[in-house]
Copies of this chain bind each other. A is one copy, B any other.
Amino acid sequence: MPTAVLLISCPDRPGLVHAVAEFVLAANGNVLHAEQHVDREAGVFFQRVEFELDEATLGRDQVATAFAPVANRFGMHADVHFSDERPRIAVLASREAHCLGDLLGRWRAGELPAEIVAVISNHADHAALATFSGVPFHHLPVTPDTKAAQEAALVELLRGYRVELVVLARYMQVLTSTVLDAFPAQIINIHHSFLPAFVGARPYHQAQQRGVKLIGATAHYATADLDEGPIIAQDVEPVSHRDSVADLIGKGRDLETVVLARAVRAHVEHRTLVFGNKTIVFG
């Protein structure tokens, strides 16, 4: 039996949990998971409810319409997803293969409830890896002069694939609003430091220079403010004075792959909600 996921946000007030539970019960659904959060400062209520859907009682095409009265009554923003509809992902990479290879490997192993529909790169290196995984590869080279055209082509390509999530798997090009605005809260980037430390280029060099005893990686939604978008996942690894920049880069690779995979999984399982500059990640 497929499950439905409701992702809800609205002004906080009593009765919200009850109203949603009532809707699920009336639809003959069975709640599997429900988790809510209240941002007390902002007075906003957030909820993720996953329930077994009885399509004989309520077809999936009817869920949004049936829920509309509840949503209207409480001023809810509500998204509905179904467990057997797998989000369509494009993975963008530059020269480094570790994040891309890891995501493709997880996907081939059935670990990601999603479809990787395209691999796109500004370099030609990963064609064989994509092909081996049975995913179309697109080479979109870019120079400062061609950046505008390349981004336009990128957006067109992503739209052609009906992509719902763009994963920047160490894609080393800064995206402009051309791309960012076309996929709001749908682009996940991996930054190779524990943000907000070491923004910008060469964070491992910065880390080595500062003599930190931890390095980190941060997965976040990409926004116009580079490295300032809502954080989804972070992790760190101990390092020491013995670690050269090359060592940090090596250790960092493992962090980057794991943190990015964790963020992608949270997104495609519909466990993330962006509010302002923060991400609520349901368990």
Contacts and interface: CB of A to CB of B under 8 A. Distances in A.
A34 interface: yes
Contacts of A230: 211
A153 interface: no
B102 A105 contact: yes
A36 B79 CA distance: 22
A30 B15 CA distance: 7
Interface residues of A, number: 67
Interface in A183-222: 194-198, 210-214, 216
Interface in A8-37: 13-18, 21-22, 24-25, 28-37
**A interface, by DSSP: helix, strand, loop or mixed?**
mixed
A98 interface: yes
B25 A14 contact: yes
Given A105-B97, A212-B195, A22 B18 contact: yes
A55 interface: no
Interface string A22-56: 10110011111111111010000000000000000
A34 B97 CA distance: 34
A192 to B, nearest CB: 14
Nearest to A98: B109
A234 B212 contact: yes
Interface stretch (A58-66, A159-167, A274-282): A274-282
Nearest to A254: B258
B194 A111 contact: no
Contacts of A32: 38
A173 interface: no
Given A14-B25, A14-B29, A37-B241, 8 more contacts: A14-B31, A17-B21, A18-B25, A21-B22, A31-B36, A34-B34, A97-B108, A195-B212
